[in-house]
Structure 1
Amino acid sequence: MNMSIRLWSAALALLCACASHAQTQAQAQTQPPAQAWPARAVRIVVPFAAGGPADNYARFIAQRLQESLGQSFVIDNKPGGGSVLGTDIVAKSPADGYTLLLMSNTHTVNETLMAAKPFVLMRDFVGIAPINYSDLVLVAHPSVPANNLKDLLRLAKERPGKLNYASSGPGTPYHMAGELFKSMAGVYLVHIPYRGSSGARTDVMGGQVDLMFDAVTTMAEVVRAGKVKAIATTGLQRSNVLPDVPTVHESGVPNYEATIWLGLMAPKGTPPAIVARLNEAVSKIASQPDVKQQWGKQGATPMVMSPTVFEKYLQDDIAKWSRVIKTANIKAE
């Protein structure tokens, strides 16, 4: 009896092993090797609404990747939950190089701001390549008695809590830029959150709010029209769009930098050869003179990094915004 049980157990184990091997072989046959990638269309999930800057740059990159790699790159907008909905879709997708994530510094902020989300960025994704970054500009209503950052810092320290700044909502890049500024400059400004940038922008121009961090390209014409004053831009280098406006970094808050940047990631486990090929293709696109010129007019600067350097950049950005969020006790809505 015992002998029969052992024989049946051995036979069952052999059948399971054969079935597992057959399944592995079948998967290998249906999934082309990394060097054959891409053999079909690639989906880029954009966890933001269609028509915004992230969506526009994603479509630009998708078209250039299609031209470079010979397969369609399809944009799939999945907004919701502060980028969490679309990002989670990619996190749960096969790691085969056919589903990618268009991400931004919203994701590195959310690592601390939304700690209970269903994924962890650096655990569930692998960095492919950055795309570009865009500067912000700190503007003030003309009634604010400060024409440059030195004046504004003096005013803020003389009147702690009397100046305020608008943003498009808690945890947004514009809010985070303001909180980083407060922390690094040692000043206290009151945050006035809005549900979107348009209302915030309108009230700054109308004088209901004193200050705002906003996209350079959006505010450039408003500055030129004299409806607001440009105090400083937020990159380490001056903006091509407002080259006469100094940076926060050069005007009294050394090493201050708060930009909006974009990049590509893939589910963890994506073959390194596919990651390397995508990185090479995106880097070539970002380095092309016509791309630099076109993006420069839009206030964006190309970014080129290896996957390893990009992942280090992501880790540093997560740590940077974690400090700001904890210091300011920022809570997600």
Structure 2
Amino acid sequence: MIDSARRQFAAIMAGALCGLASLPAVAQEVKWPVKPVRFIVPFPPGGSVDPLARLLGARLSASLGQQFIVDNRPGGSGSIGAALAAKSPPDGYTFLFVFDTHAVNPTLIPNLPFDTVKDFTPVMLVGTAPMAIVTNPAKPYKTFADVVKAAKAKPDTVTYGSVGSGSLGHLTMTLVEQAGGFKLVHVPYKGGGPMTTDAMGGQVELAIGSVAVLTPHVKGGKLRAIAVTGDKRSHAIPDVPALAEQGYPGFSALAWWGIFAPSGLPSPIRDRFHGELTQALNLPEVRKQLTEQLGMDLVVSKPEELQKFLVREMERWGKVVREHKIKPE
């Protein structure tokens, strides 16, 4: 009987020790971060990715007591910063903020030094936003149908600007031209600033860019928006009909913002970081800033949802790049 009691006691102790074996993982989660965290932004200051990273970094610094430092590494449509992130240790102290170019670059740019799908750990799809198609108010285009009519009447005369060859705006207009059976003349710019300046000055007939960049000029009367590229209207400019309402049913092309880490990031750290991001993005003042200033529709996805979204975007836009033989500048 004594031996039986001893065996039961030994079994209980063994179970307790097994339970204790899991504690280091919990402790590891609690201890992160213990030093400054780097947010790689593969674009210059300004734009939309940089202010998103800075806004979230400030909120996380306040809640976690460590610095979250934005490291701008522009170039190659975001691929230079992405390459740096891919080679960084997966220790929870380097994260990558990306824009929609992240899904286009694998097809557009040959010989990328990383695998876009395999070399990153997905964290969160932060949000999406439609693009706006705009024109100078003195131009004759009141609707997108006016653009199509003019382009068909005089092929290869109606120009439009985008932020670059192979940009999401360029690829979107390529799809729309194909669907509508008309042809525009693409004028690639090196960024939203010069494109917007020329659109306001009438040097190009049209321009396509993010609602974040173009909406202030639309509201200021310097540009007229004739369409947005989502499947519904944008809350930033709700009077502007979507292309889906103007003869392209079901059409949608969205800019997007996501956060990744180097491949191999431990799940406890990813889960902790994801939870902190979610809390920050649920703050009313943060949501207001992102929706009003960047025209963003917040998604705040789970990690696996970002991965599925990325693969779908790569397949869709990669096909456009290949079929139309689009090359980077």
Q: TM-score, normalised by structure 1?
A: 0.83
1:324 has 2:327 as partner: no
Partner in structure 2 of residue 295 of structure 1: 290
Asked if 1:313 corresponds to 2:309, the answer is yes
SS across alignment from 2:118: helix
User: Quick check: 2:125–2:305 contact (8 Å CA) kept in 1?
Assistant: no
CA–CA distance in structure 2, aligned partners of residues 79 and 226 of structure 1? 32
Question: How far apart are residue 319 of structure 1 and its match?
Answer: 0.9
Deviation per CA, 1:216-259: give whole Å up to 9, x if none.
24333433454432111122332222111111122221232233
Q: How is 1:54-133 mapped onto 2 (pairs within 5 angstroms)?
A: 54-133=49-128
**Superposition map of 1:1-333 within 5 A:** 33-142=28-137, 144-298=139-293, 299-333=295-329
Q: CA 1:77–1:203 in 2, change beyond 3 Å: closer, same or farther?
A: closer
CA contact (8 A) 2:47 2:213 kept: no
- 1:21 is aligned to none
Question: Which ranges in structure 2 are unaligned for 5 or more consecutive residues?
Answer: 1-23
Contact persistence 1:128–1:279 (CA under 8 A): yes
Q: Within 2, Cα distance between the matches of 1:301 and 1:279?
A: 18
User: Gaps (5+ residues) in structure 1?
Assistant: 1-28
Considering only aligned residues, what root-mean-square deviation do their CA atoms show, in Å? 2.2
Q: 1:309 offset after TM fit, Å?
A: 0.9
CA contact (8 A) 1:177 1:213 kept: no
TM-score under structure 2 length normalisation = 0.84
Pairwise CA distance, 1:283? 2.4
Distance 1:46 1:88 in 2: 12
CA-CA distance at 1:212 after TM superposition: 0.8
Q: Secondary structure at the match of 2:122?
A: strand
**Letter in structure 1 aligned against 2:319:** R
Describe the shift of the 1:276–1:226 C-alpha distance in structure 2 as closer, same or farther (beyond 3 A). same
Count of matched residue pairs:
303
User: Per the alignment, do residues 195 and 295 of structure 1 end up closer, same or farther by CA in structure 2, a change over 3 Å counting?
Assistant: closer
Q: Distance in 1 between matches of 2:192 and 2:288?
A: 27
Code of the aligned partner of 1:287: N
